[in-house]
Structure 1
């Protein structure tokens, strides 16, 4: 093992030795560290993909589509606010300890999510998961900057895309399989054995991996960061039907966030070891990649999160099939990440790789706006392949470009900050796009269902109210878990009504049952001829009553066939209206996402092309963050 590079520091709160793991560790040790990091990152990424395919069933079971955005928002809210804080703590106490703490908290959150009894509980426990996951992502993206110079680091950046790709291939399939064959609760419980494996490996293989420094902890910066982020995102995500934009609560939250931002900026300007060094924004590459990260985070969320709703509620596939439809996306993402990393490694040119990736994202999102209720599953998969080829080069190479441009002393803070802005994009995307989905879906359903409901009996029309149907086709699941088509549901309801009428008429005419006779007499819809027959039924001989019963039942059978045919037609209209409403809602989201991606593409054109550093050099300060 090489002799470690060390340097002294003049900070009164720091130790005198700075550990440089890029020089200290041999290649084998670095590979082992990367394996441990990727295991932790895989655990976090798997949870996001495995949950997405179970969402339609979760919403149908817990009945809370108005909180569907919060299932991811609460997770991302906690993880976003904590990423830069965990990044600083890992410098002080060691990446290993922060990573272990994060996994334990993440597993506790997973257990509680699996036990959730309603959507509110699920949202809260997903927040706890996010609190732990922030430690996994902050350490995962900081450690490569500890270990490798930018020119050497390029070859490893594709591994992180591959981890996300692998989790996305395995996650949706397992999530759909568990949802269809066991229950959605198991998409959370499956994290437990995987987490135990990751814990064992990290305890055994991962060194402490700390900087050797003890800078002052920026408690005030952490507090004001939370004060800025949490009220702002809560104001965005609260249901605007209950809390309009101009309501006192929303305005108060925005005001608190604005005050928190001012305080945060003032504190960070004077902090000895700030969580977010403000001088980084003077570096064009850092600023541009941070802004692009916001757009990529939001568009990635829109592209993947809402696709399962389209697949289940429009194309009518199972949760398992919805999960497998995402596999082409993740496979192409892995290919794009690995190929682009090798191109940058050999050519040293990262700018045009990023631009090409962003251009493909724009084209793919536009293609997604053309989805219709008749789009085949294979055409959806082709759209996913194209999107993956764009996302693969964009995400890891953006990180590399940023790390190559900032001073070595700010690598850790810069990496955590860029991840912070990308997750801010995801949180805002989940909030805004979730609210957009609910609004467009409710309006579309109310407009299209009103004339259909008017043709149904009041009790049956209530079953197809827009507020219930916006939870999706799965809201009509049978006891065995299969999705019941609206036409089938209406036919079943009509058959049940006629069966009750048939039983009453049989008991009244054949048995002269006083209770059945009284019930039929009180029915205002009973034909006058049948009412007259009931008046004299007790005086008729048995043979005459049997003959009358046969005639009435024959007419009843004819009426039932007519009613069922009409009901089937109305059910098909409801099904068509529901599919059109979900398609319109999802494609509307994609139309907005296209413009976000266009902004990201324009910003990418201004990224400076800097030579990749081949080594840190003895004259550069060793890595601190």
Structure 2
């Protein structure tokens, strides 16, 4: 394999020299030898960082020294404090997301913007998607701690703005700023954990991190509902500010990475570090992602399909993407994302698995509450109670999959089995009706939540195992970029489907037979109110109520069908991942 080079790699050591450090570019130099470390698409042989089933079997039977001589520079107590500090950020990000999903209809109705409620969700996901890929490489340059503190402060500022805003534009701006911070909280916590924990145990710690995330997700619904009930939805945002500041303080006080860790950043002055930042590549990447996300989020509503704005965004997004790829391949000494890594099947497969799976999950997380609210007439508190099953599923699925990988050193079969269970769970959500039993309503998020958490853990470990340790930050950013863009696309596409079928069904059901005492103008006003506020379903004239409920029932199920389809695609794509050896030392030697 040493003689077979990827067509994307051109190992010219002089061309890869970094003039600002008077030494070969750290990332570019390693990428030039990736074909000696990673399994490419064109070969089935596998080296140190990625091994076939036979390699793993022989390593397991022989008992390699690294499996018994794992070392760490921290005691268990120290490690718990450090990782616990990181997980406060994960908890906060999940808390915020669930608060918004639970109160989305309520917030949108209070500002008369149900037809544009995807703006509230999409504005967060837009900036999170665009900026999240930057954190990995930036933290390699400046260090994990400064960027984690920045993320917490930005998150707090965004929540403050959101709480003070009582119109769609102000709230969207606040959510966008929150998204910049939220992207760093989630991705940097995962990256820093990989700096501290050997790969074979990494799944367990990822499971613990997902438990923290799950606690935030489970409590967010009830948390937001209680604030909305007693103080107003604004205070659900205000209350997150001190939590974000506490998280930043804990990171500042306790996150002390070991000497020599990549997470400490590059040595040198601020000016030297500044020269390492790939500003050109970052600008092209953010521009491409933002324009693409705007296109996906608002096509069919604010952006007319096949209009000049529609095609303009497509051309701009593709143009900046191609420019970004060129800069990363031929210009940048410290690429934001080493695009060469996409030539390897495990990196590509795990990323796409996350992409499609996240589309599926965010779709049902947004539209199951809409179904419960509009079709069943449940209150935010009752909806919050039904989301607890998702927490139990996420916590158990991630942690148990981590234990499995730690004990066996394998993950491929686990990915296949949990994927099939996830499909089953999402399909059961699609089959939910007005007559679904109360018991099942409280447990139906359990299976898909567990499957999704297991998928996140497995694909993350597979991705990190497939590349050298000094590339783990950049590849983790790739993973989170897929997840962030997938969530945006999922919410946007499902919102388009939901609104299309809702408006069509309302017009069909309400205008077909206009009751006595109502004019067509009266019915059109009722349709408008029903379309803009799910809460109006239970306030509308009784003669129209069942028709409105049936319209919401149909439209939410069309959105959930999209969730089923994307989940199936995710599981199919995951079959292309390879089994890689999970090392027991951080250095993977």
Scaled to the shorter chain, the TM-score interval is 0.7 to 0.9
**Equivalent in the alignment of 2:318:** 258
Q: Deviations over 1:470-505 (max 9, x none)?
A: 2344237xxxxxxx543xxx4xxxxxxxxxxxxxxx
1:335 Cα offset (Å)? 1.1
Corresponding position of 2:106: 57
* Distance in structure 1 (CA, Å) of the matches to 2:551 and 2:477: 40
Determine if contact 1:314/1:582 at 8 Å carries over to the other structure. yes
Distance in 2 (CA, whole Å) between partners of 1:410 and 1:582 is 47
For residues 365 and 312 of structure 1, what CA distance do their matches in structure 2 show?
19
| Number of the residue aligned with 1:68 | 117
Is contact 1:453-1:461 (8 Å) kept? no
- Is it true that 1:277 corresponds to 2:330 in the alignment? no
Shift in alpha-carbon separation, 1:473–1:299, aligned structure 2, 3 A? closer
Q: 1:463 to 1:598 in 2, by over 3 A?
A: closer
Matched residue SS, 2:444: helix
Mapped to 2, the partners of 1:29 and 1:382 lie a distance apart of 37
Which of the numbers 344, 367, 388 marks the counterpart of 2:428? 367
Within 5 A, what are the aligned runs for 1:213-612?
213=267, 214=273, 216-238=276-298, 240-270=300-330, 271-458=332-519, 461=522, 465-475=526-536, 485-486=539-540, 490=541, 571=542, 573-612=543-582
| CA displacement at 1:592 relative to structure 2 | 1.6
* 1:56-79 deviation per Cα after TM superposition (whole angstroms, max 9, x unaligned): 211211111222112111101101
> What's the counterpart of residue 32 of structure 1?
81
Name the structure 1 match of 2:3. Answer: none
Shift of 1:95: 1.3
- Which residue of structure 2 aligns with residue 90 of structure 1? 139
The aligned counterpart of 1:193 is 242
1:364 Cα offset (Å): 1.3
CA contact (8 A) 2:426 2:448 kept: yes
Q: Structure 1: where are the runs of 5+ without partners?
A: 1-8, 477-483, 491-570, 621-625
CA distance in 1, matches of 2:472, 2:98: 29
TM-score by length of 1: 0.79
* Partner Cα distance (2:360, 2:104) in 1: 19
Matched, 1:204 2:253: yes
Contact 1:50 1:174 in 2 (8 A): yes
Q: Is the 8 A contact 1:325 1:377 kept in 2?
A: no
1:70-94, Cα deviation, whole Å (9 max, x unpaired): 2111101101111121222222222
* Deviation of the 1:294 alpha carbon: 0.4
CA distance in 2, matches of 1:16, 1:26: 35
User: Would the aligned equivalents of 2:511 and 2:520 in 1 still touch at CA under 8 Å?
Assistant: no
Deviation at 1:616, TM superposition (A): 4.9
Bigger relative contact order, structure 1 or 2 (CA pairs below 8 A, ≥6 apart): 2
Equivalent of residue 145 in structure 1, options 180, 185, 194: 194
Q: How much has 1:377 moved relative to structure 2?
A: 3.5
2:203·2:399 contact (CA, 8 Å) conserved in 1?
Answer: no
Contact 1:169 1:327 in 2 (8 A): yes
* Deviations 1:231-282, CA, capped at 9 Å, x for gaps: 1111122251443211101110111011101101100102211111022112
How many Å apart are 1:460 and its aligned residue? 8.7
- Output the CA distance in 2 between the equivalents of 1:181 and 1:616: 49
Residues 56, 241 of structure 1: alpha-carbon distance in 2 compared, 3 angstrom cutoff: closer
Contact in 2 for aligned 1:157/1:397 (Cα 8 Å): no
Deviation at 1:462, TM superposition (A): 5.0
Q: Go from structure 1 to structure 2 and tell me whether the alpha carbon gap of 1:242 and 1:389 turns closer, same or farther (over 3 Å shift).
A: closer
Contact 2:373–2:379 (8 Å) recurs in 1: yes
Alpha-carbon distance in 2 for matches of 1:403, 1:154: 11
Q: CA deviation at 1:459?
A: 9.5
Distance 2:521 2:294 in 1: 38
Name the counterpart of 2:181: 132
Q: Distance in 2 between matches of 1:388 and 1:91?
A: 32
CA distance in 2, matches of 1:84, 1:283: 19
Would you say the 8 A contact 1:454–1:461 is kept in 2? no
SS in 2 for 1:353: helix
Cα offset, 1:345, TM superposition: 0.8
Q: Distance in 1 between matches of 2:520 and 2:570?
A: 51
CA contact (8 A) 1:222 1:275 kept: yes
1: CA distance, partners of 2:17 / 2:321: 30
Q: Quote the offset at 1:439 in angstroms.
A: 0.8
Aligned-partner Cα distance in 1 for 2:160–2:412: 43
Q: Is the 8 A contact 1:87 1:416 kept in 2?
A: yes
Question: What's the C-alpha RMSD, in Å, of the aligned pairs?
Answer: 2.4
| Largest Rg, 1 or 2 | 1
After TM superposition, give the deviation of residue 212 of structure 1 in Å.
3.5
2:394, 2:452 within 8 Å by CA — same for their partners in 1? yes
Contact preservation (8 Å) 2:113, 2:533: no
Q: Deviations over 1:491-540 (max 9, x none)?
A: xxxxxxxxxxxxxxxxxxxxxxxxxxxxxxxxxxxxxxxxxxxxxxxxxx
Q: Please list the CA deviations of residues 5-64 of structure 1 after superposition, one character each: whole Å capped at 9, or x if unmatched.
A: xxxx9744349999xxx8655544433221111111211111001121111211211111
In the aligned structure 2, how far is the partner of 1:305 from the partner of 1:601?
21
CA contact (8 A) 1:141 1:416 kept: no
The residue that corresponds to 1:528 in the other structure is none
